[in-house]
Structure formats: C-alpha cells, structure tokens
Amino acid sequence: MFLLAIDWFLILEKCLLIAGIIGLSMFVAMYATYGERKVAAWLQDRIGPNRAGPFGLLQPLADGGKLFFKEEIIPIVSNKFLFVLGPMLAMVTALITSAVIPWSTPLDINGRQVAMQVADPSIGILFIFGVLSVGVYGIMIGAWASNNKFSLLAGIRGASQMVSYELPMGLALLAVLLLVGDARVSTIVTNQVGEGFFNWHIWYQPLGFLIFFICALAECNRTPFDLPEAENELNFGYHQEYSSMKLGFYLFAEYINMFISGVIMSTLYFGGYDIPFL
C-alpha cells in the first residue's frame, strides 16, 4: 500500500530536474573559467587558451581531465577525514543553493503541471542563506585539516570575509522581503511579473541591489575581494595542500557560486524567469 501511494512521476521529475541543474551549473562553471582566461588574456595582450579545440573551446574539458588524472596527495600530518570533507562541503553547498530557485513557469506535460523548482519551502530565501553559512565550514575545515599555517591563515581570512559580507547582504535582502511580504522564492518572482520590466525590484531597491552585488563578489572571492587565495603573501591560500580533483572541487565550487549568485540576483531584482513583454 505504501509503494502504491508514492508518486513515482514526481520522484522522476525531481531527479531529472536536479540532474539538469547540476549539469547546467557544471557547464557554466567550465566555460566561466574559459571566458575569464580569455578576457584576462585580452587585457594583458596575450592570446589565452587556443590549443584544445577550435578557439580553445575544449580547454575546460582538457583542464578537467588533467585534474582527474593528477597525482592525489594527502599530507601525512593532515587529518585525512576532514581533509577530504572540506572540498566536499564546498561543492555540495555550492550546488544545493539552487534547490529553491524557480527556473521557469510550470510545464504542462500530458495535463500534468510539472514545477521547474526542486522545492518551494516557505523559508526559501532563508534556506539559501543557511546553506551559504555552511559553505564557510568547507573553507575552514580544509584549511585547518591541511596542518599548514599558511593555509590556516588564508582560511581564517576567507571565513571572516564571508561571514562579514553576509551581514550587509542579509540587510539588503530584508528590504526585498518587506516589499514582497513572503520569503518564498516563487512568490518573490511572481511579485515582479507583469508590466514589462517596470515591476522589477531593481527600480524599487537600486541601492539594495548594489550592496547585494558587492557582497556577492566578496562571497565568491572575486576581485577585489580575492584575499583568501592570497597568492602573493600566503603562497597559494587555503587550498595550498590540495591537488587532483579535491582542488578541482574548490575551484569548481567558486565558479558555481558565481553562477548561482547571478541567478539569485536575477530572481530577487530582475524578475527571475520573467521575460519582458512576453
């Protein structure tokens, strides 16, 4: 009786949606690295990636393959369990924040409404902040477990930066929640639908968006907030002792966070999936 009561179609659609979101996040993260390297090369009068595939478009695949096959080193003096747990936490928290994002209006498949949102809890936007706060542990655990003072110093800098900028980010978010009157992410989007783009929250909260955008840069360790990496003064930063795909998890988590941060800003201030005048 219990098996009959399970909605297997719901489980299937959620699994497919989760797989699609993870695949999209990975794809965007891969080519964000390619785009960043190309722009940096243009600024510095270099060519940038141009060997793997036409125009270097296969360079992200080559880099990913290289990380998979590099030698995996775990320092003898490190805590092995925590050393592995750190990059896992960073990657999982980067991906799980997308669970409450509405990617589209529900699809009609044979008369069944399929929601393009993994979950829609009443505390949706607070769920995102809760997961973001857990992401700090990914950096701190990895830095401390390395048993390297330079990694630990960079980890402390990274954690203090993330915690510090979450406070003004939360205050900017409060203004949006006061406008909407609900913490559901789907409600935040539907509140902006209609009247083209004139109903978007960006027109009501331009300063709040600017504060949120600056804090998002700091959360993702992007320039000029890339102090946790500390390549000049702290050798390499909090992931100095990492190699192979564990290092790849830290790097991918950073670029996935950039993508999801853009999605969250779009959801809060630019109407989410709403396309103006359609």
pLDDT digits (tens, 9 = 90+) for 150-175: 888 888 888 888 888 888 988 888 88
Q: Which SS3 state, helix, strand or coil, does residue 139 take?
A: helix
- The amino acid that residue 187 corresponds to is T
State the pLDDT at residue 109.
77
Task: Look at residue 230 in the predicted model and tell me its pLDDT.
Answer: 62
Cβ neighbours for 150, distance < 8 A, ≥ 6 positions apart: 234, 235, 236, 240
What region, left, alpha or beta, does residue 73 occupy, with left being phi > 0 and alpha being psi -120 to 50 degrees?
beta
In 194-258, beta strands by DSSP E: none
**Please, are residues 32 and 258 in contact by the beta-carbon 8 Å criterion?**
yes
pTM of structure:
0.85
In 10 A of CB 10, how many CB atoms?
12
C-alpha separations of 114 from 183, 209, 242 in Å: 22, 31, 41
112 beta partners: 109
Show the low-confidence residues of the chain (pLDDT under 70): 1-5, 228, 230-235, 277-278
Per-residue confidence (pLDDT) for residue 278, from 0 to 100: 66
Q: Which long-range contacts (CB under 8 A, 24 or more apart) does 170-173 make?
A: 170/129, 171/211, 172/205, 172/208, 172/209, 172/211, 172/212, 172/215, 173/125, 173/129, 173/208, 173/212, 173/268
Radius of gyration, alpha carbons of the chain:
20
- Fill in the DSSP letter of residue 52: S
CA dihedral 46, 52, 54, 55 (to 10 degrees): -20
The pLDDT of residue 98 is: 86
